[in-house]
Amino acid sequence: MCFKKPAFAGFSFLVLCTVIGLPMQIRGETPEPAQVISRLNVALIEAMRGGKELGFSGRYRLLQPVVTETFLLPYMASVSVGRHWKTLTEEQQRQFEEVYAVWSIANYAKNFDEYAGERFEITKQSQTAGGAAVVSKLLNFKGKETEFDYRLRLTEGAWRIVDMRISGVSQLANTRAQFMSVLDQKGVDELVASLKRKLREFSQGDGQ
């Protein structure tokens, strides 16, 4: 599997927690930031293992609940359009949040599509009163590493991902720069249309 940066730019949970030494969640307790990332990692490995057999649509269905529950997608949608957010009507905001969520999940379904013995390792975590950072590395069988630096926020009693940095580059900031360019030139309707075109490309490219 070759990780591809997002466009516009199986292990069981018990086994994974045993390997990286994370505590299991006790019923009723808020999962720690590293546990949130572990849940995402497990789903990504499962999607990679399913690969072409699952197809794009199958990987999307597998990842949809996990990405929706581990990322703070409404917040990320509003940040991704910067100052333009306040100029949108409530209906436009709602529609954009919906397409942004689908596009975000689709990026994972598209990019994590092959498996060749990769595994994740959580190597670092830090926490403040309202924020946390977790570093997760994807290693292939040759020992090559791709480092994902996740930033999380405590929202309504749950830790949710609000950004991911690869090689020090914020993916949310990168998305925002590209979205803003479209918004400044062509407006929100064209941005939404362009995201929908990208979604069609994802599914058609995988033979679905």
Q: Residue 178 sits in a domain of what CATH number? A: 3.10.450.710
**CA atoms within 13 A of residue 197's CA, in its CB half-sphere:** 7
Tell whether 133 is covered by a domain: yes
**And the tokens for 66?**
């996990």
pLDDT at 206: 64
Tell whether 182 is covered by a domain: yes
Per-residue pLDDT band for 12 (boundaries 50, 70, 90) equals very low
Residue 23 has pLDDT above 90, yes or no: no
Tell whether 139 is covered by a domain: yes
Tell whether 186 is covered by a domain: yes
Tell whether 203 is covered by a domain: no
Mean pLDDT of the region 23-51: 84
Q: Output phi, psi for 157, to 5 deg.
A: 80, 10
Mean pLDDT taken over the chain = 86
More confident residue, 87 or 11: 87
Per-residue pLDDT band for 22 (boundaries 50, 70, 90) equals very low
Residue 20 has pLDDT above 60, yes or no: no
Crossing angle between the packed helical segments 188-205 and 90-111, to the nearest 10 degrees: 30
Tell whether 206 is covered by a domain: no
CA distance 1 to 38: 19
Range of the domain at 96: 13-193
pTM: 0.83
Side chain identity at 6, as an amino acid letter? P
Tell whether 201 is covered by a domain: no
Q: What is the DSSP letter of 159?
A: E
Residue 136 buriedness (CB in 10 A; 0-12 / 13-18 / 19+): buried
Based on C-alpha coordinates, what's the Rg of the chain? 17
pLDDT at 129: 74
Tell whether 42 is covered by a domain: yes
